[in-house]
Structure 1
Amino acid sequence: MTFRWRDNSIRILALFMAVLLWVYVTNEQNPVTNRTYQIPLNVQGEPEGYVTSGLPDKVYIKVKSPANIGAALRAGDFTARVSLMGITSGERELPVQVAAPPGVEVLQVTPEVVQVQADRLTRKNVSLALSLKGEVGQGMQRGEPVLSPPVVTLHGPSKLLAEINRVGVTVNISGARDTVVQDVAVQTGVQGVTVSPDRVSVTVPVTALPAGELPVRVKLTGEPAEGYVVGDIQVQPASVHVTGPQQVISNLAAVDTLQMNISGAYEDVEKEVVLALPGGTTSVQPDRVQVTVVIDPVETEPPPPAPEEEETENTNE
């Protein structure tokens, strides 16, 4: 059989033109389009006893499809996932896998690879550190605080737990006049780390300071006018109420006034004088006294009596 090139070439050309026409008509009626979607990233196979970070919540995908398919596409038609199966502590790059409906081609995934950090979950016991805010009421003293329990258990990634050596709690004792008992929350301040128990009881004993009655000692400065001296010193009240640690009060003999100036005085000096708070004490009541300094003239000795004149008798003359 002889191949007739002239007749067949016409048929081939006709077929080629028919295909081109079909492609043209198809593209005109149903063109290929590109679309971009944001879809959630699903995590699969996360190992028990580990915590991961670095994974984005969503990824972007660029897809190509015929117009009739693309018009009906929604973000929910695609799935993106990353598998953590077999992951251990440390960093690892993992591919993002995207599934698309039939007739849709995925052109690009952003990001294509995710950097995952994995750390083993562990536990650690740490002591509580108590901070007291404010001061107890006047005339009161606080004892040694008691925490129950004094130790808590942290739970979280081993890398974070390695940086925590204690957990602090705060109790306000401002103006307290009785023992303070509070149930306070324990917080680590570190995201991803929990604490058990999350509340502890704190007891701060508050008792009255020891008190004692001490005499007032007047401190004078200067000298009276010439010809005058200091006589009696009168104080009202003569003793005051002092509070403070027992050891401090036991070593005090008196409470001094601030210096009272009597320079050049030639008559009694009366003045309200503030008391100096003895070191280590917390209060003196009252905190000032009325002082009267008696100024007396200097007593001079009377001159000796004049000698009696002897009478001269001239009886013999």
Structure 2
Amino acid sequence: MISSLRHMLQHNLAAKIVALIVAVVLWGYVMNDQNPAIEGTYNVQIKLKNVPEGYKISQENGTVKVKVRGARSLFVSTNSEDFKAYVDLKDAENGKKAYKVQVETPQGFEVVDEKPSTVEVTLDRIVERKVRAIVNVNGAPAPGVAVAKVSQASSEVVVEGPESAVNEVDRVIGYIGLTGKNDSDFDIQVPLTAINAEGREVQEVVVKPSKMYVTIQMARGLMKKIVTVQASIADDLGKGYEFVGSKVDPLKIEIAGNEKAISAVDTLMTEKISLAGVTGNTDRTVKLVLPEGIAVTNQEVVVHLLVKEKKKD
């Protein structure tokens, strides 16, 4: 029986091999004709992998356009969700950098092209920093009543957020309204807002604590007086630049206090204003330096700094 089977297999062996090859070729031709390789494009969402903790993460592009090749039958049951695209942040560092987009396809597909091939991702470290806290008092109290003293729970608070935003914060500020207040002292929780040197609110930071406990002491019989405000300018302007001058807004301000304290004050100075890094005209909001026994409704003024580049010889 075995010899009969061997004889049957070996009989006309060359013809049988040729027939097998022809069958395979015909099968491949038919399959290629009926189910040819084609190309298609999918928009795939880019995900971030191995995201480090303690950073604010932002990416330039959210999707990648992936061009693939595969048998036509594969495209019938495939959609963009079957493809995976990601950026690996395992060795990422603080700052902005372009990272390679990795694409994974379902079995049977070949990636022809991907756009973009890289994506810029920014890692902004979450940090904390202490900044000064200032409470401004607005509005007019009842006739004959003045603010004797404003006492804050703290002169500093902490701001937390992405490093780029935290570095922009110059101070936090709160406001208290005095309109119609009588001579009774009062306490209040004042919401705090982080602002930059130009007085604009800085987003993406958290103030800790978010409110400041403030005590306002009111008094009757205090004398009032209008005095001039003068800017105190530091001598630290960079080389190659010239300080032209400064203008204070408001130039004059009303102060309150007892007769002895009032008579000794004709000018209020601002805190020292640094010119380091100033390369042109700019504004700075600064705090007033108040002598003992002197009170003001608003403790801040705006100083317009006039700076120009020196002429080259």
TM-score bracket for this pair, using the shorter chain length? 0.5 to 0.7
Taking the aligned partners of 1:180 and 1:60, their CA distance within structure 2 comes to: 63
Determine which structure has the larger strand proportion and give its number.
2
Taking the aligned partners of 1:182 and 1:36, their CA distance within structure 2 comes to: 62
Compare CA radii of gyration and give the structure with the larger one: 1
Aligned to 1:108: 113
The DSSP-based 3-state class of the residue aligned with 1:144 is strand
Does 2:77 correspond to 1:72?
yes
1:205 aligned to 217, 224, 244, which one?
217
* Contact 2:168/2:202, CA 8 A, preserved across alignment: no
Deviation at 1:83, TM superposition (A): 1.1
Aligned to 2:101: 96
Aligned to 2:259: 247
Q: Does the C-alpha gap of structure 1 residues 152 and 42 become closer, same or farther in structure 2, counting only changes over 3 Å?
A: same
Q: What CA deviation, in whole Å up to 9, does each residue of 1:14-35 have, x standing for no partner?
A: 968984x655543443243433
Aligned to 1:163: 168
Taking the aligned partners of 2:48 and 2:152, their CA distance within structure 1 comes to: 42
Taking the aligned partners of 1:154 and 1:168, their CA distance within structure 2 comes to: 12
Aligned to 2:193: 187
The DSSP-based 3-state class of the residue aligned with 1:145 is strand
Taking the aligned partners of 2:113 and 2:29, their CA distance within structure 1 comes to: 27
Aligned to 1:127: 132
Q: Does the C-alpha gap of structure 1 residues 48 and 245 become closer, same or farther in structure 2, counting only changes over 3 Å?
A: closer
Structure 2: runs of 5+ lacking an equivalent: 1-13, 195-200, 224-255, 264-313
The DSSP-based 3-state class of the residue aligned with 1:160 is helix
Taking the aligned partners of 1:18 and 1:210, their CA distance within structure 2 comes to: 109
Q: Does the C-alpha gap of structure 1 residues 105 and 166 become closer, same or farther in structure 2, counting only changes over 3 Å?
A: same
The letter for the 2-side match of 1:208 is: R
The letter for the 2-side match of 1:44 is: K
Runs of 4+ in 1 over 6 A off after TM superposition: 14-18
Taking the aligned partners of 1:131 and 1:66, their CA distance within structure 2 comes to: 72
Q: What CA deviation, in whole Å up to 9, does each residue of 1:240-294 have, x standing for no partner?
A: xxxx97639xx9xxxxxxxxxxxxxxxxxxxxxxxxxxxxxxxxxxxxxxxxxxx
Residues 7-26 of structure 1 mapped to structure 2, 5 A cutoff: 19=25, 22=27, 25-26=30-31
Does 2:155 correspond to 1:150?
yes
Deviation at 1:124, TM superposition (A): 0.8
Aligned to 2:143: 138
The letter for the 2-side match of 1:195 is: V
Taking the aligned partners of 1:205 and 1:138, their CA distance within structure 2 comes to: 16
The letter for the 2-side match of 1:205 is: Q
2:179 aligned to 170, 174, 178, which one?
174
The letter for the 2-side match of 1:155 is: E
* Contact 1:35/1:62, CA 8 A, preserved across alignment: yes
Taking the aligned partners of 1:24 and 1:196, their CA distance within structure 2 comes to: 73
* Contact 2:61/2:120, CA 8 A, preserved across alignment: no
Taking the aligned partners of 2:180 and 2:165, their CA distance within structure 1 comes to: 38
Taking the aligned partners of 2:72 and 2:34, their CA distance within structure 1 comes to: 9
Q: What CA deviation, in whole Å up to 9, does each residue of 1:161-196 have, x standing for no partner?
A: 233231122222222224343323223343332221
Normalised by the length of structure 1, the TM-score is 0.55
Deviation at 1:123, TM superposition (A): 1.7
* Contact 1:88/1:119, CA 8 A, preserved across alignment: no
Q: How many residues are matched?
A: 207
Normalised by the length of structure 2, the TM-score is 0.56
Decide which moves more: 199-208 or 27-36: 27-36
Q: Does the C-alpha gap of structure 1 residues 57 and 203 become closer, same or farther in structure 2, counting only changes over 3 Å?
A: farther
Alpha-carbon RMSD: 3.4
The letter for the 2-side match of 1:127 is: R
Identity %: 27
Taking the aligned partners of 1:25 and 1:133, their CA distance within structure 2 comes to: 87
The letter for the 2-side match of 1:145 is: V
Decide which moves more: 174-183 or 192-201: 174-183
Q: What CA deviation, in whole Å up to 9, does each residue of 1:186-218 have, x standing for no partner?
A: 23343332221122223322333469xxxxxxx
Decide which moves more: 45-54 or 195-204: 45-54
The DSSP-based 3-state class of the residue aligned with 2:135 is strand
The letter for the 2-side match of 1:179 is: D
Deviation at 1:47, TM superposition (A): 2.7
Deviation at 1:128, TM superposition (A): 0.7
